[in-house]
Structure 1
């Protein structure tokens, strides 16, 4: 065999070999233009033996929200608080119903309990529909005696609590209903449950006196009576009643004129 024949044989052998030196498969053309096959990468550690590169990882569980996210002790506390609110609401509505409903066996038997719950904060009345509305201005005033921060005693002048409430309402777009009526209703309750000489009429008299004194004490403390660090020990309340003259077109005659009259209560211990 000549040298040229030997080189030609080697060229034929190289042309028939697959890339990398492997022999070509049977029936595959030596000059195939198909791209070489890329081996599939192994699955990532910890993801199991997936069936291929498109296998998605397992989804995370949905986060727990609401009451289910709380521990058992907190769930029990929340359930007890909700039960207490429901019981208190039902009790309040029951007492309110017995108070405004016509007299019956239950309301008569539980009258003391109903009155103790309703008065004075939740009292109901029909004065909105009264044929003769109030024709006088009542201003509740108070003064206090107590001790300064250094131990010396003091006696304040009269604070017009009604005027202070009225001044706080000026310029308010949504004025407070309680600021308008709590103090006035406290005095009305006291006046209707006490004789002219200050003698209480029944259990409501004692309740109304304590309620009025507590309101006056709180208002004087907010007003800074006695200065910083002062301790209020005694409270005295009075009411200034000024009649409102009828309009000229009404034809009514004025009652007692337009001069103010005062009703001053005795000193009482401060209530907070």
Structure 2
């Protein structure tokens, strides 16, 4: 009996694609595996391109029959994912001109720099300022050379140049750059000289009072003691001012030559400034005049020496010097 006959009691159901029972599983079909996506190889940053050799023929993707095309209403299998497609269009990059190393333009774009780079230092200045800097450097170099030459001629033994231009050399050296040594003939000091000063102070009520003696050399000694880098003024200013005064005055403290008055003014200004730092006058009072004295003591010889010297201090007291009004407040006239 046929199941399709009207008299048949068999249950009817939808037929499969080939008339098979819907309960049966359809035969599995072998699908074509996806083609591998070709990798994009970046160009090397520098150096010649590497020869990768001829391309290898991978052959057909699969020997199986191609899968049936999907219909308009069919959805792709989610397990397989989107089918990879070929890479379309060339890989674009920065324009590399002729003569440029491979990867150089790429590196320049990546870093954002320029080929030449910004100018720095003096080169970044305009032409006018560069000329000014060169002129200033030349003036400084000439000044240094002149000073070194004058100092050398001053400390060197007498020669034709120093005799011919002795006055110009003396004016350059004294008093600021005076030297206490001679080339090839050192003369170390063998005395301790202490310089002291006192002052007459004119008070606000019209009276006059005299200060004690201020030991300026002892103050410099305390500032130098234990100081790894003492200043030039602490070491030499006061001592050289006194040596300058002694060299230009006789035993009666009278100036000898034109530099005598200069050395007296130089020493007076220094001691007035020192008194102002010590606040010797006090508030409201003014330094009216100053008096300087030196106390010289010979350095005792060593124990193994037979030399006999006196160690008794010798004082030399100078006359009172009136202080000009413009110097009374600190020694600057």
Q: Can you give the 5+ residue segments of structure 2 that lack an aligned partner in the other structure?
A: 1-16, 18-60, 68-79, 98-102
Report the equivalent of 1:113: 168
1:95 aligns with 2:95: no
1:165 CA displacement: 0.3
Query: C-alpha displacement at 1:216, in angstroms?
Result: 1.8
2: CA distance between counterparts of 1:120 and 1:49? 71
Deviation at 1:88, TM superposition (A): 0.8
User: CA shift at 1:146, angstroms?
Assistant: 6.0
Task: Establish whether residue 70 from structure 1 lines up as the match of residue 125 from structure 2.
Answer: yes
TM-score by length of 1: 0.68
Gaps of 5+ in 1: 5-27
Q: Give the number of aligned pairs.
A: 241
Q: For residues 229 and 92 of structure 1, do their structure 2 counterparts lie closer, same or farther at Cα, with a shift above 3 Å needed?
A: farther
The range that moved more, 149-158 or 195-204, is: 149-158
- Secondary structure of 2:195's partner? strand
Name which of 214, 234, 237 aligns with 1:182. 237
Q: More displaced, 160-169 or 175-184?
A: 175-184
**2:113 is the counterpart of 1:60:** yes
- RMSD, aligned α-carbons: 4.2
Q: In 2, Cα distance between the equivalents of 1:31 and 1:113?
A: 112
1:242–1:261 Cα contact (<8 Å) kept = no
Shift of residue 129, structure 1, vs aligned partner: 3.8
Distance in 2 (alpha carbons) for counterparts of 1:68 and 1:233: 58
Task: Assess if the C-alpha contact under 8 Å between 1:242 and 1:259 holds in 2.
Answer: yes
Q: What's the CA shift string for 1:25-60, capped at 9, x where partnerless?
A: xxx99949982134459979xx8899xxx9736452
**Which residue of structure 2 lines up, in the alignment, with residue 13 of structure 1?**
none
The residue aligned with 1:236 is: 291
Distance 1:49 1:104, change over 3 A: closer
Q: Could you state the TM-score of these two structures normalised by the residue count of structure 2?
A: 0.57
The answer to whether 1:79 aligns with 2:128 is no
Who is 1:214 aligned against?
269
Q: Secondary structure at the match of 1:195?
A: coil
User: Do the aligned partners of 1:213 and 1:268 also contact (CA within 8 Å) in 2?
Assistant: no
Deviates most, 69-78 or 35-44: 35-44
Q: Higher helix share goes to which structure?
A: 1
1:263 to 291, 302, 317: 317
